[in-house]
Structure 1
Amino acid sequence: MSRAKRKMDHINYALSTGQCRATWLDCVRFVHQALPGTGVADVSLEPKTGDLNLKSPVFINAMTGGGGSETLQLNAMLARAAKETGIAMAVGSQMAALKDKNERESYQVVRKENPQGIIFGNLGSEATVEQALEAVEMIEADAFQVHLNVVQELTMPEGDREFRGALERIGRIAEELDVPVIVKETGFGISQEAAEALAGTQVSAIDVSGFGGTNFASIENERRKRKLAYFEDWGIPTAAAIVECRQGFGGTVLASGGLQDAGDLIRAFRLGADATGIAGSFLKHAVSLGETGLIEEIEGLHEDLRMLMTALGARTIEDIRTSPAVISGELLSYLQQRGYETGHFAAPSKN
């Protein structure tokens, strides 16, 4: 099967299988502030994300490219929406374009449509420094994602079966590239142990990409004769992965994996995320509502965040970190068993 055909299969299966909504973000409940002492006009949505320089706390996460004309058109639409709303955008894995020059246009269209925007390049952890440099040059990327997808590859019929040396390759890429390097999972979460290992490199940010959104094990199982069902419930739910990565990594922490609305985003910020990425939900809006509908959705997301932050008395994304919130259910049990102290989340704000 060609890479282009596989890319389109991934998109179609992502739309048909949906998201499992098992992020555990619903286990976070804010303590209402009847006297927030702020107004909507006081709220700033610009996050602190180090050398990523994001202007919005939400970005379009890696999805598309390398699937011929269909993904070219989709990437062009997403890029225009990102330009109109002032948010960053990541392209899907560029390996297809490194293997087949005819696929380059489906990625380069993003820079063409959004010449001044913040764009992330993307390759898997098998990539060499030379491939990473070529991927960055291809789209004049402002940052570069290295994605980790062990479970997806193991489930993929034609996937990789060898994962040795990934940390060393990531370290070399982070050393050699002139743009910030982001390490992201693909829907199965990043643990404290992995975050600590990455903290020993020059990686700028970790995208936790937790369990609970688009499930690539389920997608790949649709393409298998004998399904590996045990991988379909595998991974660290997004809420727990944020805490794990915040504990193990001192740089920028990005949250993704099943985030769909402002309520999800603001809970992610409370748990320790600096910014958030959305893929599956934006893909569905793009396909069902078109470009105008997607732009309206993103603008509505920004408006909803301002409303929620006002209700909490939070003027900045960082202020949300001190907003009292009660942790319950499976998330509480998980964090306690992993040895994390949880009382500080609910402690009264000292502001």
Structure 2
Amino acid sequence: MTPEPSLSASRKDDHLRLAAEQAAAPPARNDFDDVEFLHHALDGVDEQRVSLATRVGPWTWPVPLYLNGMTGGTETAERVNRALAIAARETGIPLASGSVGIALDDPAAAGGFRVIREENPDGFVMANIGAGRGPDDARRAVDLLGADALQLHVNPVQETVMPEGSRDFSSWPAAVEAVIAASPVPVIVKEVGFGLSRRTLARLADMGATIADVSGSGGTDFAAIENARRAGGGFSQLAGYGQSAVACLLDAPASGPQLLASGGVRGPLDVARSLALGARAAGVAGAFLRTALEGDAETAVAAAHDWIVRLRGVLALLGAASPSDLARTDLLLRGRVREFCDLRGIDAGAFARRADPLPPSTAPGEGPAPRRTM
């Protein structure tokens, strides 16, 4: 007789199914569309000169891109993680697991996570646990995957909507600080699609966090996913809740943690936009989920290679020989993003003048330079 799946395992497979449905019908726009590179037609560089290497914490990643945590702990999840691990192995892209809490509570679920290291023995791997977990669980998660880093996710919106979620968040700050202090590897604190505000990033810095993934809205929406799992719904108004990765990057404190960006990253241009706004690297999940669900490692590898090739081309077009060079590109911030900047006291116009100051003859309010006559 086939055993009944555990509640945690059933939830994991629900998440995969519902996330894949969202990925198949993405929003027509997100805040990345309000970030426009000012085109300078003679600024491009030789693509062969472009290095995609980026510094994140104590590491140098070969590309400013990572495959963010999606799942683990079930047969379906194992198939997904195997395909993603092979793609990461063949391209050098760092890879995060989904939350390993299910394996910490039920050792029988560990195989769906171990496959990540089995298929990618020398790659950069991030284990993932929730903010309600303690230092012992952090060490166990790192050991399970032989992880190079630990993602510690904070997800109060998801827990609020989740039928079986925890709604006592009062202990989270102390637990986060304890895990950061005790983890055997560097900790990356991340949201799950609702954003990390300026105040939250400042608090994380005070807790000892040195790296944070702002993980904003606009991608996989766990409020909508959990609401779909509730009998009768009831939390539909929380769909789309939170701030985008774009808004979080713009709002981040100068003295806060180093930043990673995920949430709504649809292609290499969005990766470049993230880097231009201050992220060291950008994470992607939904764009690879459908391929990974089919267990198609070959297609996942091809897709990862394609992202790298196109990202190098975008950097060359923008005159950036490295990801850090994008911090000097001119950006036009429009629409909702411009409104967010106005409300939060951020000088949106300054981003349009980063490459060169406007010459006096064309400075705002002075009009065009006089036309030369013979």
C-alpha distance in 2, partners of 1:331/1:75? 35
Q: Does 1:223 align with 2:249?
A: no
Native 8 Å contact 1:23 1:257 kept in 2: no
**How far has the Cα of 1:263 moved from its partner?**
1.1
C-alpha distance in 1, partners of 2:48/2:90? 21
C-alpha distance in 1, partners of 2:354/2:278? 17
Structure 1 residue runs of 4 or more that deviate by more than 4 Å after TM superposition: none
State the identity as a percent: 35
C-alpha distance in 2, partners of 1:255/1:184? 9
**How far has the Cα of 1:233 moved from its partner?**
2.6
The match for 1:15 is 20
The match for 1:27 is 34
Partner of 2:58: helix, strand, or coil?
helix
Q: Does 1:62 align with 2:69?
A: yes
C-alpha distance in 1, partners of 2:165/2:227? 12
Letter in 1 for 2:249: I
1, 4, 11: which is aligned to 1:6? 11
The match for 2:360 is none
Partner of 1:146: helix, strand, or coil?
strand
C-alpha distance in 2, partners of 1:52/1:168? 27
Partner of 1:332: helix, strand, or coil?
helix
Native 8 Å contact 2:246 2:337 kept in 1: yes
Letter in 1 for 2:68: N
* TM-score, normalised by the number of residues in structure 2: 0.90
Partner of 1:188: helix, strand, or coil?
coil
Native 8 Å contact 1:211 1:235 kept in 2: yes
**How far has the Cα of 1:214 moved from its partner?**
0.7
Deviations for 1:246-275, whole angstroms, at most 9, x for unmatched residues?
x25533200000101011111111111110
C-alpha distance in 2, partners of 1:315/1:91? 31
Q: Does 1:338 align with 2:333?
A: no
Partner of 1:222: helix, strand, or coil?
helix
Q: How does 1:186-205 map to 2 (within 5 A)?
A: 186-205=192-211
The match for 2:277 is 271
Letter in 2 for 1:306: R
Deviations for 1:291-313, whole angstroms, at most 9, x for unmatched residues?
12111111111111111111111
Native 8 Å contact 1:195 1:248 kept in 2: no
Partner of 2:217: helix, strand, or coil?
coil
The match for 1:237 is 244
Q: Does 1:53 align with 2:54?
A: no
Structure 1 stretch 197-206 or stretch 128-137: which is displaced more? 197-206
**How far has the Cα of 1:20 moved from its partner?**
3.1
Partner of 1:48: helix, strand, or coil?
strand
The match for 2:167 is 161
**How far has the Cα of 1:285 moved from its partner?**
3.0
The match for 1:283 is 289
**How far has the Cα of 1:109 moved from its partner?**
1.0
Relative to 1, partners in 2 of residues 1:139 and 1:288: Cα closer, same or farther, differing over 3 Å? Answer: closer
Q: Does 1:79 align with 2:89?
A: no
C-alpha distance in 2, partners of 1:348/1:139? 42
C-alpha distance in 2, partners of 1:347/1:3? 50
Native 8 Å contact 1:22 1:213 kept in 2: no
Q: Does 1:319 align with 2:328?
A: no
Partner of 2:223: helix, strand, or coil?
helix
C-alpha distance in 1, partners of 2:294/2:73? 21
Deviations for 1:162-199, whole angstroms, at most 9, x for unmatched residues?
00121221111111112110011011111000000001
Relative to 1, partners in 2 of residues 1:179 and 1:233: Cα closer, same or farther, differing over 3 Å? Answer: same
Partner of 2:174: helix, strand, or coil?
helix
Native 8 Å contact 1:52 1:180 kept in 2: no
Q: Does 1:95 align with 2:108?
A: no
Relative to 1, partners in 2 of residues 1:105 and 1:289: Cα closer, same or farther, differing over 3 Å? Answer: closer
**How far has the Cα of 1:22 moved from its partner?**
4.9
C-alpha distance in 2, partners of 1:41/1:258? 29
Letter in 2 for 1:64: T
Native 8 Å contact 1:208 1:241 kept in 2: yes
C-alpha distance in 1, partners of 2:168/2:256? 29
Aligned-residue RMSD, C-alpha = 1.6
Partner of 1:14: helix, strand, or coil?
helix
**How far has the Cα of 1:115 moved from its partner?**
0.8
Native 8 Å contact 1:52 1:143 kept in 2: no
C-alpha distance in 1, partners of 2:177/2:280? 22
**How far has the Cα of 1:202 moved from its partner?**
2.1
Letter in 1 for 2:49: D
Native 8 Å contact 1:196 1:248 kept in 2: no
Structure 1 stretch 12-21 or stretch 321-330: which is displaced more? 12-21
The match for 1:148 is 154
**How far has the Cα of 1:24 moved from its partner?**
0.4
Relative to 1, partners in 2 of residues 1:65 and 1:249: Cα closer, same or farther, differing over 3 Å? Answer: farther
